[in-house]
Amino acid sequence: MRSKLFIIFFLGIISFSVYGQDSLAYKSKWQTRLLVGTNIPMSKLLQGAETDYLLQYDDNSYYWQILSITYFFHKHWGLEFNCQAGTSSRIRQRGNNFMSNLQSKYNDDYYVNSSTGAIYNNNFFEGDISRGYLGLIYRFETNKLNVYPKLSIGVTSFMIDWGRADLKEKNSNTEHSILYLNKNRRGSAGALASAADHFTLAPSIFLGYKIAKRFYVNADIMFSHYKTNIVYEKTITNLYTNERTVEHFDYKKGISTLSLSAGFIFTIR
């Protein structure tokens, strides 16, 4: 049903634009865009497990455009390259939340000493979720209104971190260690933070309304989809008997997101 609604929406926009083609301008060769927006999940990656905090990701996030360059090589056709950075308050606090979660989980029976790479990977200006796209644009323009359907391919990236805890049983000398690792990457814990890169398909449409000679206000609607292949392995080791138990947290999912943003277009003639 959602797919049908998107198709109807895009066809409606295209039909409107074709109707007004007699007054199209098509003067600019280069454009750049500045925008901020929000990501609304249509499917969710997080599952409510303690390993959620080790993913530098949130189903609900906001983003800003770091770079956007568009070149129109034809009256109707152009290419756009853009980079986006995203974050959320949950991502900002995930390291502390991971350690608090383990305290809550084991504190009744154990003294808990925990750590995670999540507390070190928080650079606000670079963002936590990165997206890079190359898009093919077909443009419709009037003197005031620009309508650009676009199909992009690119990469969505975020970090996969490690976590660990040392447990000492209360009123006993029994000790356990817990290690959370990306199953597909092993070694020492400090070396296990790695970027997960996901091929992304993203149809979109953006509209610009002229407010000055070279400036337009801009609204952007984008639907993106990619598949993850992440599996966390939780290993609990009894340090006295060396007995181990292993549990897995599966994050192999198809992730669909609706992104809504607003900003400005600057045209370079």
Distance in angstroms (rounded) separating the CA atoms of residues 268 and 28:
6
At 57, is the pLDDT very low, low, confident or very high (cuts 50, 70, 90)? very high
Q: What is the pLDDT of residues 195-207, one digit of tens each?
A: 889 999 999 999 9
Q: Which of 113, 108, 117 is nearest to 53 (CA)?
A: 117
- Among the residue ranges 169-173, 206-210, 243-247, the one predicted with the least confidence is 169-173
Give dist(CA 210, CA 145) in Å, integer.
6
Provide the pLDDT for residue 26: 73
How far apart are the C-alpha atoms of 180 and 165, rounded to whole Å?
9
**CA separation for the pair 194, 182 (Å, rounded):** 9
Structure tokens at 124: 């606000």
- How big, in percent rounded to 5, are the helix, strand and coil portions of the chain? 20, 55, 25
Asked whether 120 and 143 are in contact (CB, 8 A), the reply is: no
Look up the CATH number of domain 2-268.
2.40.160.20
pTM of the predicted structure, to 2 decimals = 0.82
